[in-house]
């Protein structure tokens, strides 16, 4: 008997979608192994594998090495069975890509674009880049199975509509998915906030095989946090989970935050706050990137200030560590490019102030993907939806009905 595989609610053990999950995870690669793991009769497994083969998501790929009996045919998930279009829209900059169904980036482009130009202009721009990227790799819109988009503001994930986003004028309640419905019929369009998709990108690419619980902290102009709990993005009751930037740090009541409160961690340790303080001290720092350049040049004021910012952030993170007990904290965003002093400050306070049990195996690491985290995460968000057992079971049923009708 093989390993026990936990199934999401409503998924039938041994359904075609479940079998695909086992093949994708590498838990099984032949019909006999699928039968052994699920406890299904071999004839049932054979029937369900045939149904998966008919979708194109699985192919037969040679034979396994013989260990006595007849070698079994090897089954393999086919990442090339479809394409995912992804866009990571920031305040002034965006990255657009095409990936396969395993999340591998096939083509990408990064360009400046102003989110404040409004949804019509920005989404037309995104659509034009989708078309260019597809033609650059000689693929067609028919192959697109889903679209994933990240935006720099809160999103109602179920409807794909931004909710009162502070830096996205004109986007409030705009139905982003509907903008692409005609061009890619049948392909779901999923939208989330940019920090959530970055968290998912880091998790999927580097940690999902070893870790279930992760915090991703974006230290850019502001500060945000994406939460991966039990392998999934945790959005909270209203989609506002992870708003760490506006936690109050006592003792800094003179720091006024853009949210209207005082002493928010973002107003003390965010990239814009650091740039403003360094500028007041006579440096030519307009934004977070300029702060990082100053750190890279070895400026002592900048290095000390970033390390202090790390300590301040560490106080807030220590509470989050005690509360949530993550296995990994990933630090990303522009300021994280000054990662040595920033991570040193964070680690110093987190390990000192969190409970020993919560930090026993805790790792605090620098982003592995940098600016590429968003499109990887947008792809993972779509792929997990498309290949979820329930979605695949529905696809198999629909395909069988279509065949019967023709
Ligand atoms: Zn605030």
- 253-288 in b/e form (b: 16+ CB < 10 A) is eebebbeeeebbbbbbbbbbbbbbbbeeeebebebb
User: Which residues does residue 99 pair with via DSSP β-bridges, in sequence order?
Assistant: 84, 105
Give the pLDDT band (50/70/90) at residue 2.
very low
The answer to whether the beta carbons of residues 323 and 208 sit under 8 Å apart is: no
In this predicted structure, the answer to whether residue 242 has a pLDDT above a threshold of 70 is yes
Q: Report the CATH number of the 82-194+373-384 domain.
A: 3.30.420.40
Distance in Å, CA 25 to ligand 1 centroid: 41
Distance in Å, CA 157 to ligand 1 centroid: 23
| pLDDT, mean of residues 151-177 | 93
In this predicted structure, the answer to whether residue 1 has a pLDDT above a threshold of 70 is no
Q: Which of 155, 288, 283, 301 is nearest to 222 (CA)?
A: 288
The pLDDT assigned to 240 comes to 82
Cα 377 to Cα 56, 60, 267, distances in angstroms: 24, 29, 27
Distance in Å, CA 260 to ligand 1 centroid: 6
The pLDDT assigned to 12 comes to 77
The pLDDT assigned to 391 comes to 94
| pLDDT, mean of residues 59-72 | 78
Distance in Å, CA 116 to ligand 1 centroid: 21
| pLDDT, mean of residues 277-300 | 94
Strands, E, within 64-210: which ranges? 73-77, 83-89, 93-99, 105-112, 144-151, 155-156, 161-162, 189-193
Burial class (CB in 10 A: 0-12, 13-18, 19+), 190: buried
Distance in Å, CA 162 to ligand 1 centroid: 19
Domain 82-194+373-384 identical in fold to domain 199-368: yes
Global confidence as pTM? 0.91
pLDDT, tens digit, for every residue of 68-126? Answer: 677 889 999 999 999 999 999 998 899 999 999 999 999 999 999 999 999 999 999 99
Q: Which of the two residues, 185 and 136, has the higher pLDDT score? A: 136
Per domain, the residue ranges of the chain are 16-57+388-405, 82-194+373-384, 199-368
Q: CATH topology for 199-368?
A: Nucleotidyltransferase; domain 5 (3.30.420)
Distance in Å, CA 29 to ligand 1 centroid: 51
Distance in Å, CA 343 to ligand 1 centroid: 22
pLDDT, tens digit, for every residue of 386-402? Answer: 999 999 999 999 888 88
- Long-range CB contacts for residues 163-168, cutoff 8 Å, separation at least 24: 163/239, 166/258, 167/91, 167/115, 167/116, 168/115, 168/116
The pLDDT assigned to 70 comes to 74
For the chain, give the mean pLDDT.
Answer: 93
pLDDT, tens digit, for every residue of 331-369? Answer: 999 899 888 999 999 999 999 998 888 888 999 999 989
The pLDDT assigned to 67 comes to 63
């Amino acid at each position: 008997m093989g390993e026990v595989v936990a199934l999401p609610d409503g998924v039938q053990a041994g359904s075609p979608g479940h079998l695909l999950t086992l093949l994708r995870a590498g838990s099984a690669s032949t019909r006999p192994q699928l039968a052994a793991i699920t406890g299904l009769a071999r004839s049932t497994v054979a029937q369900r594998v045939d149904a998966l083969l008919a979708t194109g998501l699985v192919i037969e790929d040679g034979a396994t090495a013989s260990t006595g009996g007849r070698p079994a045919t090897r089954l393999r998930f086919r990442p090339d069975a479809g394409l995912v279009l992804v866009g990571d829209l920031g305040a002034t900059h965006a990255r657009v890509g095409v990936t396969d169904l395993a999340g591998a980036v096939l083509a990408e482009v990064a360009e400046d674009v102003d989110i404040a130009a409004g949804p019509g202009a920005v989404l037309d721009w995104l659509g034009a880049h989708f078309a260019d990227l597809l033609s650059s790799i000689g693929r067609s819109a028919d192959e697109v199975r889903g679209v994933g988009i990240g935006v720099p503001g809160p999103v109602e994930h179920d409807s794909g509509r931004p909710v009162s986003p502070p830096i996205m004028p004109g986007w409030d309640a705009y139905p982003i998915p509907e903008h692409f419905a005609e061009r890619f019929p049948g392909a779901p369009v999923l939208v989330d906030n940019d920090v959530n998709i970055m968290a998912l990108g880091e998790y999927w690419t580097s940690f999902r095989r070893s870790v279930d619980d992760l915090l991703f902290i974006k230290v850019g102009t502001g500060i945000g946090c994406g939460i991966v709990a039990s392998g999934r993005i945790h959005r909270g009751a209203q989609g506002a989970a992870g708003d760490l930037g506006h936690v109050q740090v006592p003792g800094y009541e003179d720091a006024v935050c853009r949210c209207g409160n005082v002493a928010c961690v973002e107003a003390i340790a965010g990239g814009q706050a650091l740039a403003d303080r360094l500028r007041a001290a006579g440096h030519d720092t307009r934004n977070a990137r300029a702060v990082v350049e100053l750190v890279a040049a070895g400026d002592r004021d900048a290095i000390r200030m970033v390390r202090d910012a790390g300590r301040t952030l560490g106080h807030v993170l220590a509470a989050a560590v005690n509360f949530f007990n993550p296995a990994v904290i990933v630090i990303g965003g522009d300021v994280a490019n000054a990662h040595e002093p920033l991570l040193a400050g964070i680690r110093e306070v987190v390990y000192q102030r969190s409970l020993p049990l919560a930090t026993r195996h805790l790792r605090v690491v620098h982003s592995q993907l940098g600016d590429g985290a968003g499109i990887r995460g947008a792809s993972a968000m779509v792929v997990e939806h498309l290949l979820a057992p329930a979605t695949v079971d529905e696809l198999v049923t629909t395909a069988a009905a279509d065949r019967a009708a023709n």
